[in-house]
Amino acid sequence: MSMPQSPVQWHQVKAWVFDLDGTLLDSRPDILAAASDTLVDYGHAPLPAGYQLPNLFGTAGELVRDVFVERGYPAPTDLVRLRAEFEAHYAAQNPSQARLYDGVPQWLDWARQHGVALGICTNKLERLARDGMQQLDIAEGFGAITGSDTYGVGKPSPEPLLRTLAQLGVAPQETLFFGDTHADAACAQAAGVRFAWHSVGYGDARVQALPQVLRYAGYGELLYQVATQQPALSL
């Protein structure tokens, strides 16, 4: 059962921090292609069309390791090498097939116009996060962009989120964290930050067992809520 927190009073929120993949952008095609190329590096067949990744919430090494396991291949023990190979393939994709979810540019523009601090806390490498944001033209105005390598730890640990907030100069209670998976929700809970669940991202039923102040399927509905100064919908 979901456990909603108090509805959001938007005028009291000083900072919005976002997960990236599955929250602001749909990068599933790029992730699939990089995972498939990594399997080939290890002498295995590429992933079949329509393959569903078993893990879209962990770090890159964990994500690809779980693909090996799901396909019935011996799991590589050197996750550092595995991660490096996957991320090299991910970075080499040109053009990228990643796309922003509908309404993201308008949602970020509203924040910039109203003085809301913006941050990113993702489990991908910081460099790849910054590159992807530049390519999609959304990097402007973000006061902090952190990846799983920035502080050497990824979500669901609260540390990367808390350090992102420290960079922004805001307190946990002044912040709303937008994410799509249980790793994001657990990170927010441990950090004492309210969580907004992007329900059409990469998460599963495990998210619903964790606290969330609102659930949204698109950024248009959030724009309506904040523009009319109505409390956000809670579960």
Please say whether the beta carbons of 48 and 205 come within 8 A.
no
Q: What is the DSSP letter of 173?
A: G
**Both tokens of residue 1?**
């059962």
Q: Residue 177: beta bridge partners?
A: 17, 195
Alpha-carbon distance of 22 to 27, in angstroms, equals 7
87 residue type, one letter: E
Report how far Cα 142 is from the mean position of its chain's Cα atoms.
15
Task: Residue count of the chain, please give it.
Answer: 235
Active site residue 19: yes
Please say whether the beta carbons of 9 and 232 come within 8 A.
no
Of 26, 59, 232, 68, nearest to 155 (Cα)? 59
Exactly one of 19, 21, 30, 37 is catalytic; name it.
19
Q: Residue 194: beta bridge partners?
A: 176
Q: Three-class SS string for 130-188?
A: HHHHHHCCCCCCEEEEECCCCCCCCCCCCHHHHHHHHHHCCCHHHEEEEECCHHHHHHH
Alpha-carbon distance of 125 to 148, in angstroms, equals 6
Q: List the catalytic residues.
A: 19
